[in-house]
Structure 1
């Protein structure tokens, strides 16, 4: 799940700055010439907008100090931090994160600096698209040092990007307790709860106007329509589901829309379950249109047994070559070889492409260890123009 409207804010400050002496005092005392070198490089980075020369100078200084005494190690960490600041300012977030990692792992670095650089590295990795690594580091920082509300929301966003819905929902819970809710975060939280199938929690995020009109069907329709305009079909499905469960949305038209929204919103299994129940209680007819919708919903949900059964029922209703072919190709792709053979034959008899249906039937028969039947199918496929059939026949001859 890409949440492109969010940004991973990173505050990249120089280690000296207005806090100059305080920052330097966090580590071992440095020689005056080392302090001058750090302050000079910091000033150049500020004046030149972090040019490549200044960044290279900071890295070179850090390399020269490698393996020194405690003061050298502290100065090395500060030079690495300066280089990281420069890389981040130039938009090279991954490189900046690597430098912060080096700096915070140097022996003798004080705890406050380690904490600050861990936070910086985590946010830079998130901004660089290294979401899994950034989320791990940010979680480590929060658990060690306690996160503010912005960090908690950032963690929820990262878990949502990774599509770890249960974990994202837990982080949303923590972030909501910390406060700082706004429209963007409310949309994130609602989307996370919907994917985690926590529909009541998603419902709780509706605005005051909607909550005040909980039995008004037009209010629920407007909310779902807004979610669709925001290109959030999952949220639209969650809103419609909540209105349906509350009883505000009723009737066949509302049920049809609920089914369509679940398919569009990435929860096709729910759509199929509603269709199946509607067939059984007579709310919707089991006609060709609705049977096709059921088959497509189970297919999108990758529910093999239910999808193949639904496509078979549809094909028997329509006797159409395309429906038999769809059943045959799905069965072939899912390794249901007997069903594939039967459906592909029916499809061919109804006018489907003989070259492809013979070829797939041959492979299916071979998987069923019916080699002579497979040979005949491959020969028919070859005669119908399937170029791959020759390779299969050659393989059989070699065996």
Structure 2
């Protein structure tokens, strides 16, 4: 990413709020009394802090539980929560997957297990799978604000920005005092989707929160320019200057350069033009030449031609006249081309003279063929 937006684009930290045990949910379902005793003994051992004993008790009962049964699901579920308590996320993921696969747990227990499994998957960087799991949970009932936040984070990390953006908007509208990172996330995701206007609107929230932060002004101007609103971008920089947090001339020149790096030479040229027009950047020969180069790079021939005329008239340099001649050659403006080449003669190098003679030949031949 460009324009420094990459510095803003980062996900909020994933905060795990996993249950260390699902409680005696199994007591609400009819299960084999022997398995209930095993589960109870394992839970007591865990509560006493003896995770090894709890795991041994549960592991010993695995083979006696029927395949696909509720009893097997409950044992695997408990092993999953033991792994969580031991901070063994990958083992916990494996056990909870197995427990849920039987489709035997009652709805509240299964939902909690799915939520915890989604958080484990996210913590292990498996964001796409975590997002799919949270989508299934959401289909069965609305997510809490905290759970929506987790889903946004998973979508954003999986680069599913189109899904993440509307959900992130729900998060900040439900809690306008949300941390800056949520607004930064919205700026970054909208930027990735090339929704520069929307990115600029969220950037304004950050600017309002910290108006003395110079970077916020720069980011906003960059986004406005990327959206093709160069006058608005220049106005933003003017306001920053009037607020006493204006950017230096090198900062403004760099902002133009960043537009070029973003693959937007036309926007860069318009921004430079506006900055000079509003006297935020002084007009000098180097910037006039840069403007002509940018219009040429943007393939806006009319503006490029006018810019090179101004530059060449100011400098009288052969290379500047030849830049103008190149545009006239491309457009087939043969008479104008001959006049420009004549002006390029003075001070031309031997290599430039050779090019001038070659182009004069093209122009005269074209005029003769058209006469």
TM range (shorter): 0.5 to 0.7
**8 A Cα contact 2:118 2:134, kept in partner:** yes
Flag the 1:165–1:38 CA change in 2: closer, same or farther, 3 A.
same
Q: Hey, what does 1:183 align to over in structure 2? A: 180
Q: Hey, what does 2:19 align to over in structure 1? A: 12
1:126-141 to structure 2, matched below 5 A, reads 126-141=122-137
Say if 2:239 is the partner of 1:245: no
Q: How many residues align?
A: 272
Instruction: State how far apart, in whole Å, the 1-side matches of 2:179 and 2:139 are.
Output: 24
- The alpha-carbon deviation at position 41 of structure 1 amounts to 0.8
Out of 85, 95, 118, the position equivalent to 2:114 is 118
Q: Hey, what does 2:95 align to over in structure 1? A: 99
Secondary structure at the aligned position of 1:145 is classed as coil
Flag the 1:291–1:28 CA change in 2: closer, same or farther, 3 A.
farther
- The alpha-carbon deviation at position 121 of structure 1 amounts to 1.2
Q: Hey, what does 1:199 align to over in structure 2? A: 199
**8 A Cα contact 1:193 1:201, kept in partner:** no
Instruction: State how far apart, in whole Å, the 2-side matches of 1:84 and 1:279 are.
Output: 60
Instruction: State how far apart, in whole Å, the 2-side matches of 1:291 and 1:163 are.
Output: 36
- The alpha-carbon deviation at position 3 of structure 1 amounts to 4.1
**8 A Cα contact 1:55 1:83, kept in partner:** yes
Instruction: State how far apart, in whole Å, the 2-side matches of 1:45 and 1:223 are.
Output: 51
- The alpha-carbon deviation at position 43 of structure 1 amounts to 2.1
Instruction: State how far apart, in whole Å, the 1-side matches of 2:162 and 2:125 are.
Output: 21
**Any idea what the Cα deviations from partners look like across 1:265-320, whole Å, max 9, x if unmatched?**
xx7134x332243578895877799489969xx9xxxx9x99xxxxxxxxx979xx
Secondary structure at the aligned position of 2:205 is classed as coil
**8 A Cα contact 2:127 2:154, kept in partner:** yes
Q: Hey, what does 1:36 align to over in structure 2? A: 37
Relative to the length of structure 1, the TM-score reads 0.56
**Any idea what the Cα deviations from partners look like across 1:14-60, whole Å, max 9, x if unmatched?**
133xxx3xx233321441x3322111111222333634x64354344
1:53-72 to structure 2, matched below 5 A, reads 54-55=54-55, 57-67=57-67
**Any idea what the Cα deviations from partners look like across 1:248-277, whole Å, max 9, x if unmatched?**
3149947534335557xxx7134x332243
- The alpha-carbon deviation at position 172 of structure 1 amounts to 0.7
Instruction: State how far apart, in whole Å, the 1-side matches of 2:256 and 2:40 are.
Output: 64
- The alpha-carbon deviation at position 134 of structure 1 amounts to 0.9
RMSD over aligned CA atoms reads 4.2
**8 A Cα contact 1:97 1:125, kept in partner:** yes
Flag the 1:96–1:144 CA change in 2: closer, same or farther, 3 A.
same
Instruction: State how far apart, in whole Å, the 2-side matches of 1:178 and 1:148 are.
Output: 11
**8 A Cα contact 1:236 1:261, kept in partner:** no
1:349-364 to structure 2, matched below 5 A, reads none
Say if 2:262 is the partner of 1:274: no
Q: Hey, what does 1:143 align to over in structure 2? A: 139
Flag the 1:223–1:60 CA change in 2: closer, same or farther, 3 A.
farther
Instruction: State how far apart, in whole Å, the 1-side matches of 2:142 and 2:205 are.
Output: 26
**Any idea what the Cα deviations from partners look like across 1:341-390, whole Å, max 9, x if unmatched?**
xxxxxxxxxxxxxxxxxxxxxxxxxxxxxxxxxxxxxxxxxxxxxxxxxx
**8 A Cα contact 2:76 2:99, kept in partner:** yes
Flag the 1:85–1:118 CA change in 2: closer, same or farther, 3 A.
same
Instruction: State how far apart, in whole Å, the 2-side matches of 1:7 and 1:49 are.
Output: 29
Instruction: State how far apart, in whole Å, the 1-side matches of 2:150 and 2:221 are.
Output: 24
Secondary structure at the aligned position of 2:130 is classed as helix
Instruction: State how far apart, in whole Å, the 1-side matches of 2:218 and 2:20 are.
Output: 41
Q: Hey, what does 1:355 align to over in structure 2? A: none
- The alpha-carbon deviation at position 83 of structure 1 amounts to 0.9
Q: Hey, what does 1:27 align to over in structure 2? A: 29
Which has more radius of gyration?
A: 2
Instruction: State how far apart, in whole Å, the 2-side matches of 1:109 and 1:276 are.
Output: 63
What 5-or-longer segments of structure 2 have no aligned partner? 1-5, 226-230, 242-247, 277-282, 301-317, 321-371
Q: Hey, what does 1:167 align to over in structure 2? A: 163
